[in-house]
Structure 1
Amino acid sequence: MSNAVVNGLAGAGGGIIAQIITYPLQTVNTRQQTERVARKGPTPRGSLPPNPSAGGTLVQILQVVSSEGLGGLYSGLKPSLFGTAASQVFKNKAEAIATANKRKGHGDGSVGIFSWLVVAALAGSLNVLLTIPIWVLVTRMQTHTQAERKIVEAKRDVMAREASESSLIGSSLQDKMAEYDSIKPHPYGTLYAAREVYGEAGIAGFWKGIIPTLIMVCNPSIQFMIYESLSKRLRDKRAAKKQGLKKVTALEVFLLGAFAKLGATVSTYPLLVVKSRLQAKQEIGGSILLQYSGTLDAIIKMIRYEGLPSFYKGMSTKIVQSVFAASVLFMVKEEIVKLCSILLDKGQSFLR
């Protein structure tokens, strides 16, 4: 089994495990990003379920579990796992190219800073074009109940306003209000999400948010550039001091991965918020002023109606989720690669 295959399988395995562990945080974070509240304006009337973005991350997780069950935290997990595995394949292709260059006498076998910027940008762009339909569905599935609450809230508000203006409150109105109050949206499946996206915008709907997503290909470039640079520096430092243990430990890999992902997340987070809002069902915005026709329209309206802080909604949750996920990914990958190396060495020794 070649190193490229081992690294590919290890990367995909690490990515999947990290995704499963941190997915509830990702679900809550997507809902935080897509919750739209204007700086000024009247407070909506009615007593519907609490604002999904109110309170801390733990409070929001408990709210989701209370209203939707544990399944609400894992809505969209299946397509997300597929997308994660596919993304890791492209990342490991860059490592394979670096190894091939070493055989040709170019470089030392590690992916250098400039190589990461170029190779990851090209691989990332292709990755985006091929996998963005998956992430559109994931975003829809994560925010479906949030959008449905907004739709019900708007209907209830309109009915209450019309009743107030006409001064008519009858049993039928009360029954209708009670019906709206009793509605509890539930997560939906991948096929339903796909039909909804196609029904709204056709095939083009599966590539919503393509512009900010393409720009965001610099995120893995920054992440792996930081990780590879720090990892190489640590190894070189140990080699210079002639220390017996030159390999990086699992804990060190975890910490390096966390630091690398932290830097990448903070620098590209505003683009992630714009992408999520474009891919989510537009009814989440409630008011037409908070619904977007494209990337530029989203940026202008977010600045005008919500202010610059809207670009960093849920960033603390994202930092925890992405840093922990990246750390687990790197740690699991390194351990899988080590295990495969040991098994291959034992297998060769047995054949001898």
Structure 2
Amino acid sequence: MLIFQCFQGIYYYFYQVFKNKAVTIAAAQKVKGRGDGTVGMFGWLVVAAIAGSLNVLFTNPIWVLVTRMQTHTQAQRKIMEEKKEALRKAASESTIADSTLQDKLAELNSIKPRPYGTIHAANEVYNEAGIVGFWKGVIPALIMVCNPSIQFMIYESSLKHLREKRAAKKQGNTSISALEVFLVGAIAKLGATVSTYPLLVVKSRLQAKQEIGGSSSLRYSGTFDAVLKMIRYEGLPGFYKGMSTKIVQSVFAASVLFMVKEELVKAFMVLADKSKKVVSNISS
């Protein structure tokens, strides 16, 4: 969870940088008589896509290691079960004696899992595919840039709509409350998660240890191969496994981050205004 929040922080940094540039460009365009001075829906999509792409390229190697470490125990368990099943099958076909079977099963049960940390995972990835292995799943990850793009498009458009609605009613205060930011952020993240979750599943399958399962249905040579095999062996529900848990976790986290970010921006603007007033008073 902490790693996820750190990655979110990196994304929000890039997003804020390019958002500021987009706002500056929109203001400059207004001076030239083009547009109303605000960033449009397409502009928010571009800003979010650029920030997301940079975030993916920088953090994908870490996600590969995290996914390997998370699935290592499952992979070892499946490999062990396959070996036991092969021994039982051999015993049923009378190719090995029952006493030998029991000895071999006892030997397998006595094997303790090897320590598996970041260094082990990195060595394993490098031995399998070299440096390129650290960017496994980068294609669906880059495609998944549309997740935050959709999220921020919904978020920024909704906030703009709220402000315009209040301005039309001639309300004195058009600022958005923390609760409203939280709710808008939740709706935006929910829409983005539901529409892009299948890509997250494909990315995780590609980054996981490929020894999971002896069946070829769980071994993937690439993104397209993974999609085809999931459709063939698991059907469309396979692309939405675990989505309910993901929604609860990611929607709440995104809502809190949106709320905190907006409050920090407000606080910064207040401090900046006070600093300007102090400077102007000193100058005068």
TM-score range, shorter chain: 0.7 to 0.9
Percent identical among aligned pairs is: 67
Name the larger-Rg structure. Answer: 2
The aligned runs of 1:89-104 (5 Å cut-off) are 89-104=13-28
- Measured after TM superposition, the shift of residue 114 of structure 1 is 0.9
The residue that corresponds to 1:331 in the other structure is 259
In the TM superposition, what are the counterparts of 1:12-51 in structure 2 within 5 Å?
19-20=1-2
Question: Is residue 133 of structure 2 the alignment partner of residue 209 of structure 1?
Answer: no
Could you say which residue in structure 2 is the equivalent of 1:310? 238
CA change 1:117–1:338 in 2 (3 A) is: closer
Correspondent of 1:163 among 91, 96, 106: 91
- Unmatched tracts of structure 1, length 5 or more: 1-18, 21-76
Measured against aligned partners, the alpha-carbon deviations of 1:112-150 in whole angstroms (never above 9, x if no partner) come to 201122233334334333332122122222222222221
Cα contact 1:111–1:228 (8 A) shared by 2: no
State the distance in 2 between where 1:186 and 1:255 align: 45
Q: Is the 8 A contact 2:28 2:37 kept in 1?
A: no
Cα distance change on mapping 1:288 and 1:240 into 2, 3 Å = same
- Alpha-carbon spacing, 1:116–1:102, altered in 2? closer, same or farther (3 Å): closer
Per the normalisation by structure 2, the TM-score is: 0.85
When the two structures are superposed, what TM-score results if normalisation uses the length of structure 1?
0.70
Change (3 A) 1:110 1:183: farther
The answer to whether the aligner puts 1:220 opposite 2:140 as a matched pair is: no
Query: Is 1:292–1:298's contact at 8 Å kept on the other side of the alignment?
Result: yes
Residue pair 1:112, 1:228 contacting (<8 A) in 2 also: no
Q: Does 1:86 align with 2:10?
A: yes
For structure 2, the residue ranges without an aligned partner over 5 or more in a row are none
More RCO (CA 8 Å, sep 6+): 1
Q: Aligned letter for 2:18?
A: A
For 2:115 and 2:38, locate their aligned partners in 1 and report how far apart those are by CA, in whole Å.
43
Does the CA-based 8 Å contact 2:151-2:189 persist in structure 1? yes
How far does the alpha carbon of each residue in 1:209-233 deviate from its partner, in whole angstroms, 9 at most, with x for none?
1221222221111110000111111
Matches of 1:339 and 1:315, distance apart in 2: 35
Q: How does 1:267-306 map to 2 (within 5 A)?
A: 267-306=195-234
**Runs of 4+ deviating beyond 6 Å:** none
Please give the alpha-carbon distance, in whole angstroms, between the structure 2 residues aligned to 1:315 and 1:231.
27
Q: Distance in 2 between matches of 1:118 and 1:347?
A: 33
**Shift in alpha-carbon separation, 1:323–1:342, aligned structure 2, 3 A:** same
Question: Quick one: which amino acid aligns to residue 249 of structure 1?
Answer: S
**1:121 alignment counterpart:** 49
Aligned CA distance change for structure 1 residues 205 and 164 (closer, same or farther; 3 Å): same
Assess, with a 3 A threshold, how the Cα gap between structure 1 residues 103 and 244 changes in structure 2: closer, same or farther. closer
- Contact 1:213 1:271 (C-alpha < 8 Å) held by counterparts: yes
User: 2:234 is aligned with what amino acid?
Assistant: E
1:179 CA displacement: 5.3
**Secondary structure in 1 matching 2:93:** helix
User: Partners of 1:93 and 1:346 in 2: how far apart?
Assistant: 23
